[in-house]
């Protein structure tokens, strides 16, 4: 990646300091037609001309997901207006505003809904170059303040047409897009290898815990026989959150997916009201926590000297009967493969998955005598910590690659790089 030696001028844009002298900064609307998709309505779900259409969720960065496309009625006028053709750019109007991908004609007959803009060049400008430019702009927070008087951010067609971006001539646009296609593909290949590594480490880690406990277990027992308490936090306590100082309020974010150590980052605080509710959901050292909504089955143990802390309604508190089970053994058992399968089978709900406390009580876990538990736990935790450190190293490499990818895109679409094959 070599820095461009071309003469530069001020870009006149908040997020770009300078661009090549021969580049412009036209509005999107000067070079592209921007058309919002068809609005959903009950009558559109039926009809004699049902066609597949793309939603916001189908459009990811530089990728279109065609799994399970819904159908909607598009009459002849709709089909003329909302048809997609190869080279169209689809841009998200809400959600992750500005997220974009180019339609390559993956389906012969496909349309799009109102949550998306279709961006189509008037002449020979490159939608792939524009897609990379939107990636760079989004990384710089350009779209964060879009919207209206509501708190929900939307990128209207009018606003998208009005956005100005660094803009070379079409031949250079295509050269830059081709260069970024090749370079980002190389980075994505390395990222994919790292992600496979992460998946393999995670699988081996959970299998190792399961095997170690299983090798020493002499029985299996439901959690209800091993604890004195199974509860969760009261509803509505998020309204009691205060700035520090206060009492720790333990939420899903504090219960990690990759270990059983409580995660004290992104912490919240509350002023717990006196009374039975507070007593019920206040944690003690050795309590085991597990998440019961959204990311179900994450586990952590309350360490000594934590201080006064309470669980939220999304976290279950298990108080082990320490005459029968070691807290860390119980946490590892709950984290093991078999227990996780049981938790997964017991979850319910649609878009917001949940686990009932009654189902949690019935999860069966491996059990050994206390002496065996306490002799096995340290070595299992040591292996778990080593694997977790390896995962952290791989994640750091992934983060660096993502940063490099973004820096490469931003530098290329703002004219800061020498691009092989680009017109001088």
Q: Report cis status (omega within 30 of 0) of the bond before 245.
A: yes
Tokens of 243: 């700035």
* Nearest Cα to Cα of residue 110 among 92, 89, 90, 83: 83
* Nearest Cα to Cα of residue 363 among 329, 334, 322: 334
- Residue 57 CB-density burial (10 A; 0-12 exposed, 13-18 middle, 19+ buried): exposed
Task: Please compute the mean of the pLDDT values over residues 65-75 and round it to a whole number.
Answer: 93
> What pLDDT, on the 0 to 100 scale, is given for residue 149?
42
Assess whether pLDDT exceeds 60 at residue 65: yes
Tokens of 218: 């002499």
> What pLDDT, on the 0 to 100 scale, is given for residue 238?
81
Answer whether 57's CB lies under 8 Å from 38's CB.
no
- Residue 7 CB-density burial (10 A; 0-12 exposed, 13-18 middle, 19+ buried): exposed
pTM of the model: 0.82
* Nearest Cα to Cα of residue 291 among 309, 266, 317, 270: 317
Task: Please compute the mean of the pLDDT values over residues 203-229 and round it to a whole number.
Answer: 95
Of these ranges, 40-54, 341-355, 400-414, the one predicted with the greatest mean pLDDT is 400-414
Confidence of residue 37 (pLDDT cuts 50, 70, 90): very high
Whole-number mean pLDDT of the chain? 93
Percentage of the chain beyond pLDDT 70 is: 97
Of these ranges, 44-58, 363-377, 410-424, the one predicted with the greatest mean pLDDT is 363-377
**Which of the pair, 192 or 350, is modelled with greater confidence?**
192
Answer whether 382's CB lies under 8 Å from 98's CB.
no
Task: Please compute the mean of the pLDDT values over residues 295-299 and round it to a whole number.
Answer: 94
Q: Which domains, from first to last, does the chain contain? A: 26-165 (3.90.220.20), 219-367 (3.90.220.20)
* Nearest Cα to Cα of residue 117 among 84, 150, 86: 84
Collect all residues with Cβ–Cβ distance below 8 Å to 40 and sequence separation of at least 6: 72, 113, 114
Tell how far CA 287 is from the center of its chain: 29
Neighbours of 388 (CB within 10 A): 18
d(CA 291, CA 33): 47
Q: Alpha helix locations (H) across 123-169?
A: 127-139, 157-162
d(CA 390, CA 329): 23
| 330-344: pLDDT as tens digits | 999 999 999 999 999
Assess whether pLDDT exceeds 70 at residue 374: yes
Tell how far CA 11 is from the center of its chain: 33
| 144-194: pLDDT as tens digits | 876 544 456 789 999 999 999 999 999 999 999 999 999 999 999 999 999
Confidence of residue 244 (pLDDT cuts 50, 70, 90): confident
d(CA 390, CA 394): 6
Neighbours of 367 (CB within 10 A): 22
Answer whether 278's CB lies under 8 Å from 272's CB.
yes
Neighbours of 350 (CB within 10 A): 6
Residue 145's SS3 state is coil
Tokens of 307: 């201080």
Q: What is the dihedral of CA 221, 335, 296, 70, to 10 degrees?
A: -110
Give the E-state strand segments of 179-265 in sequence order: 219-222, 227-232, 241-242, 247-250
d(CA 6, CA 25): 17
> What pLDDT, on the 0 to 100 scale, is given for residue 152?
64
Determine the straight-line distance between the first and last CA of the chain, rounded to whole angstroms. 17
> What pLDDT, on the 0 to 100 scale, is given for residue 424?
65
Task: Please compute the mean of the pLDDT values over residues 318-332 and round it to a whole number.
Answer: 97
In a 13 Å sphere around the CA of 211, the CA atoms on its Cβ side amount to 8
> What pLDDT, on the 0 to 100 scale, is given for residue 301?
98
Tokens of 351: 């878009």
């Amino acid at each position: 990646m070599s820095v461009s030696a071309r003469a530069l001028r001020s870009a006149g844009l908040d997020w770009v300091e300078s661009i090549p002298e021969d580049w412009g900064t036209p509005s999107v609307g000067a070079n592209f037609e921007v058309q919002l998709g068809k609005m959903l309505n009950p009558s559109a779900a039926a009809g004699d001309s049902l066609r597949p259409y793309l939603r916001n969720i189908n459009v990811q960065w530089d990728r279109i997901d065609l799994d399970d496309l819904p159908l909607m009625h598009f009459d002849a006028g709709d089909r003329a207006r909302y048809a997609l053709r190869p080279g169209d750019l689809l841009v998200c109007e809400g959600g992750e505003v500005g997220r974009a991908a180019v339609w390559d004609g993956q389906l012969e007959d496909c349309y799009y809904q109102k949550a998306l803009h279709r961006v189509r060049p008037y002449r020979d400008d490159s939608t792939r170059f524009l897609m990379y430019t939107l990636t760079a702009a989004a990384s710089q927070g350009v779209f964060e303040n879009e919207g209206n008087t509501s708190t929900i951010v939307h990128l209207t067609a009018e606003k998208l047409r009005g956005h100005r971006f660094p803009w070379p001539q079409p031949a250079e646009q295509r050269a830059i897009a081709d260069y970024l296609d090749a370079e980002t593909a190389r980075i994505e290949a390395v990222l994919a290898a790292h992600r496979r590594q992460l998946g393999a480490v995670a699988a081996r880690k959970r299998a190792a815990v399961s095997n170690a406990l299983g090798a020493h277990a002499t029985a299996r027992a439901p959690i209800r026989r091993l604890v004195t308490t199974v509860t969760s936090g009261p509803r509505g306590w998020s309204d009691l959150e205060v700035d520090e100082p206060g009492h720790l309020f333990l939420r899903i974010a504090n219960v990690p997916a990759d270990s059983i150590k409580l995660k004290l980052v992104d912490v919240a605080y509350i002023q717990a009201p006196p009374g039975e509710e507070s007593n019920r959901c206040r944690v003690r050292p050795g309590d085991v926590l597990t998440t019961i909504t959204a990311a179900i089955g994450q586990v952590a143990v309350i360490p000594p000297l934590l201080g006064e802390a309470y669980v939220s309604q999304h976290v279950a508190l298990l108080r082990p009967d320490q005459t029968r089970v070691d807290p860390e053994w119980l946490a590892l058992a709950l984290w093991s493969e078999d227990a996780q399968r049981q938790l997964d089978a017991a979850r319910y709900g649609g878009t917001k998955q949940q686990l009932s406390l009654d189902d949690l009580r019935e999860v069966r876990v491996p059990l050994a005598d206390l002496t065996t538990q306490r002799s096995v736990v340290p070595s299992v935790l040591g292996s778990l910590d080593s694997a977790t450190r390896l995962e952290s190293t791989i994640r750091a490499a992934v983060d660096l690659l993502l940063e490099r990818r973004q820096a490469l895109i931003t530098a290329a679409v703002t004219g800061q790089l020498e691009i092989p094959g680009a017109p001088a």
